[in-house]
């Protein structure tokens, strides 16, 4: 079935939002932990975190400035500190609930009953229940001219992960940690491994490893 651009443009806003949000494929499910200068905390689920580079370790994410992630963006710009916390299968509904529009003075940690966790030298709170999480120092924010979304780039300073999940070669078994994947605006999924594949070379088929 072929959808032309005009058919997409003619569909209603809600349909289009769900349809277009489904196209990029499976997305990461992460909770962004922040705090303002006074220590008032905020927690927001985002599905737009992406890998930018390993050396130095850099992560990007996209947020919309005038939506429920507004406080997240302001806290990051004010303090330069944020945490990214994997959503695992035991907290997926609480994680989704952070996307409700709570009043500015109410912490989503408290509202959805997830616990704050702190480490030395990191201003922002982690999610205690998350099994893989890391702290970032803001590198830059950039408003994208095409649609006024904001790209946030951060450098990883600390990683907290259950040691069992880290394999000898550095691969982290996030399926073992029951990290979930997101589809569209509101679909949540656990995963089932097909396999890891060896580094591809032109003259041979890849081997299944690990």
- Burial 130-144, CB ≥16 within 10 A → b, else e: bbbbbbbebeeeeee
- Whether 151 and 141 have beta carbons less than 8 Å apart is answered as yes
Q: Residue count at the site for its own copies (CB under 8 A)?
A: 108
Q: Does 143 bind its own copies (CB under 8 A)?
A: no
Q: Which of residues 191-210 bind its own copies (CB under 8 A)?
A: 191-202, 205-206, 209-210
Tell which residue, 54, 36, 33, has the closest CA to residue 45. Answer: 33
Q: Does 105 bind its own copies (CB under 8 A)?
A: no
141 membership: H or E segment, kind and range:
strand 132-143
Shortest Cβ distance from residue 86 to its own copies (Å)? 6
Q: Which stretch binds its own copies (CB under 8 A): 36-44, 74-82, 177-185?
A: 177-185
Among 36, 40, 41, 58, binds its own copies (CB under 8 A): 58
- Whether 185 and 17 have beta carbons less than 8 Å apart is answered as yes
Shortest Cβ distance from residue 4 to its own copies (Å)? 6
Nearer residue to its own copies within complex by CB, 35 or 132: 132
Q: Does 138 bind its own copies (CB under 8 A)?
A: no
Nearer residue to its own copies within complex by CB, 62 or 78: 62
Q: Does 150 bind its own copies (CB under 8 A)?
A: no
d(CA 32, CA 29): 10
Q: Which of residues 72-101 bind its own copies (CB under 8 A)?
A: 84, 86, 89, 92-93, 96-101
Shortest Cβ distance from residue 72 to its own copies (Å)? 15
- Whether 47 and 181 have beta carbons less than 8 Å apart is answered as no
**Distance of CA 20 to CAs 56, 100, 180, 201, Å?**
32, 21, 20, 34
Shortest Cβ distance from residue 74 to its own copies (Å)? 19
Q: Does 189 bind its own copies (CB under 8 A)?
A: yes
Shortest Cβ distance from residue 109 to its own copies (Å)? 14
- Burial 151-175, CB ≥16 within 10 A → b, else e: bbbbeeeeeebeeebeeeeeebbbe
């Amino acid at each position: 079935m072929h959808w032309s651009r005009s058919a997409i443009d003619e569909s209603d806003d809600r349909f289009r939002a769900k349809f277009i949000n489904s196209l990029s494929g499976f997305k990461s499910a992460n909770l962004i932990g922040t705090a303002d200068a006074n220590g008032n905390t905020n927690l927001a689920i985002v599905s737009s975190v992406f890998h930018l580079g390993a050396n130095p370790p850099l992560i990007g994410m996209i947020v919309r400035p005038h939506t429920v992630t507004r406080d997240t963006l302001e806290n990051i710009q004010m303090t330069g500190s944020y945490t990214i916390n994997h959503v695992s299968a035991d907290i997926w509904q609480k994680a989704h609930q952070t996307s409700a529009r709570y009043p500015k003075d109410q912490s989503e940690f408290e509202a959805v009953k997830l616990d704050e966790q702190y480490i030395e030298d990191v201003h922002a709170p982690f999610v205690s229940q998350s099994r893989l999480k890391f702290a970032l120092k803001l590198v830059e924010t950039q408003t994208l001219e095409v649609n006024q979304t904001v790209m946030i780039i951060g450098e990883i300073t600390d990683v907290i992960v259950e040691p069992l999940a880290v394999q000898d070669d550095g691969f982290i078994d996030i399926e073992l940690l029951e990290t979930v994947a997101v589809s569209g605006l509101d679909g949540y999924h656990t995963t089932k491994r097909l396999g890891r594949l060896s580094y591809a070379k032109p003259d041979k088929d890849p081997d299944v490893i690990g």
